[in-house]
Chains A and B, each alone.
Chain A
Amino acid sequence: MALIDLANPSRFLKFANGAIPWLAGVTVLVFAFALEQAMIAPDDYQQGATVKIMYLHVPSAWLGMLCWGLMSVAALGTLVWRHPLADVTAKAAAPIGAAFTLLCLVTGSLWGRPEWGTYWVWDARLTSELVLFLLYLAVIALWNTVEDPSRAARAVAVLTLVGAIDLPIIKFSVDWWNTLHQGASVFRVGGSTIYPTILLPLFIMAGAFTLLFITLVLAAMRNEILRRRVRTLQLMQASAAN
């Protein structure tokens, strides 16, 4: 089935109905394998067992960025090609991306407490992630402010693309800001190369998270299409009542 065939919402629904159970099954299997690998992976010689938090922290950071990338492509799809599924994708992805970014922040702060002695430091990476989270919340707020879905989609698409351009600039300036203020109690045990025994489980975990993300986005897109059908039917009901 070509990608263009999925442009028809009914055909997409059929595809999603078929694909979601399979995807969910594969996700569960890969997750089981990844968790097992993460559990038997050796501890870091400096950080000890807390390195296990990395298996959650890094994949959710990765998904937080991947999701904004997906939303940017969808935004182009909305503005340039008027692809019917583009704004559905963008709307479905936003809360999921926000949730994974939040998970990244929470795990980062739980990792920071034993390592740095405080839940939060204004470390460059964590701070950029926080700004990304704020941008996700702004996008969700914008979706929830405009009533007509196609008008909301265009406004959100512009915001998403501006965000995509601004995010690297934010990252750069936060890095600059952070090195400017050396006084912060940030002490990173970086520099050491990560051993393959830790790296391989991390890759498997990232794969499991990505599968989970794809499944969730597909399911949320299906919900969004159904929600628009409900809206259309309700409009019919309202105009039939007049």
Chain B
Amino acid sequence: METTAHIDFIAAAYAAAVIVVGVLIAWVTLDYRAQGRRIAELELQGFTRRSDTTSARPTSPAKEAAREQTAEQSAEQA
């Protein structure tokens, strides 16, 4: 390692790699937490996917009908 004339460029390149990879990891982790939190919030309000309704929650008939409809939509989308 005697010719380290361009060590600053090498360091900058590795720093750029660390930043890009770091941003990707942060994006993936934070997004995972955010989606988990939103699902938990919605489930607290009594909205569950139909395939998960093993614990039968008390629901109004109207809500049940709405659930039917959106479950079909989700089946299409999934």
Asked if A and B touch directly (CB within 8 angstroms), the answer is: yes
Residues of A within 8 A of B (CB): 9-10, 43, 48-50, 52-53, 56-57, 60, 84, 95-96, 99-100, 102-103, 106-107, 110-111, 113-114, 149-150, 212, 216, 219-220, 222-223, 226-230, 232-237, 239-240, 242
Instruction: Give the distance in Å from the alpha carbon of A110 to the alpha carbon of B66 in the complex.
Output: 56
Name the contact of B10 in the complex, choosing from A9, A49, A223 (C-beta under 8 A): A49
Q: Report yes or no: B28 in contact with A223, Cβ–Cβ below 8 A.
A: yes
6 smallest CB-CB distances across A and B, nearest first, come from A226-B35, A48-B3, A239-B66, A232-B74, A233-B42, A114-B6
Q: Are B42 and A106 in contact (CB under 8 A)?
A: no
Q: Which residues of B contact A10 (CB under 8 A)?
A: 51
Whether A49 contacts B3 in the complex (CB less than 8 A), given A228-B77, A239-B66, comes out as yes
Given contacts A99-B24, A232-B77, contact A113 B9 (CB under 8 A): yes
The 8 Å CB contact of B49, one of A106, A111, A229, is A229
Binding site for A on B (CB under 8 A): 1, 3-7, 9-10, 12-14, 16-17, 20-21, 23-25, 27-29, 31-32, 35-36, 38-39, 42-43, 45, 47-49, 51, 62-63, 66-67, 69-71, 73-74, 76-78
CA distance A103 to B14 in the complex (A): 10
Considering the complex, give the chain A residue whose CB is closest to the CB of B77: A150
Interface-centre pick from B13, B23, B43, B47 (highest chain A CB count, 10 A): B13
Which residues does chain A contribute within 8 Å of B47, judged by CB atoms? 233, 236-237, 240
Main secondary structure of the interface of B (DSSP, over half): helix
- Whether A230 contacts B78 in the complex (CB less than 8 A), given A43-B1, A56-B13, A219-B32, comes out as no
Whole-angstrom distance between the alpha carbons of A111 and B17 in the complex? 13
Q: CA A234 – CA B49 in complex, angstroms?
A: 11
Interface contacts beyond A219-B29, A223-B32: sample of 13 additional A-B pairs, CB < 8 Å, sorted by A: A48-B6, A49-B5, A50-B10, A56-B14, A100-B20, A106-B20, A107-B13, A110-B9, A149-B77, A229-B49, A233-B43, A233-B47, A236-B66
B-chain residues with CB within 8 Å of residue A49 when the two chains form the complex: 1, 3-7, 10
* A102-B76 in contact (CB<8A): no
- The answer on a CB contact under 8 Å between B39 and A229 is yes
Residue contact A222 to B77, C-beta cutoff 8 Å: no
Interface SS of chain A: helix
Contact present for A106 and B51 (CB under 8 Å): no
Bound Cα distance A223, B37 (Å): 12
> Please, which residues of chain A bring their CB within 8 A of the CB of B67?
236, 240
Given A110-B13, A233-B42, A240-B63, A99 and B78 contact (CB-CB distance below 8 Å): no
Write the nearest CB–CB distance from B26 to chain A, whole angstroms. Answer: 11
Smallest CB gap from B12: residue in A: A110
Query: In the complex, what distance in Å separates the CA atom of A239 from the CA atom of B47?
Result: 11
Contact A50 B9 (CB under 8 A): yes
Known: A43-B3, A149-B77. A223 touches B9 (CB 8 A): no
Nearest B residue to A107 by beta-carbon distance?
B13
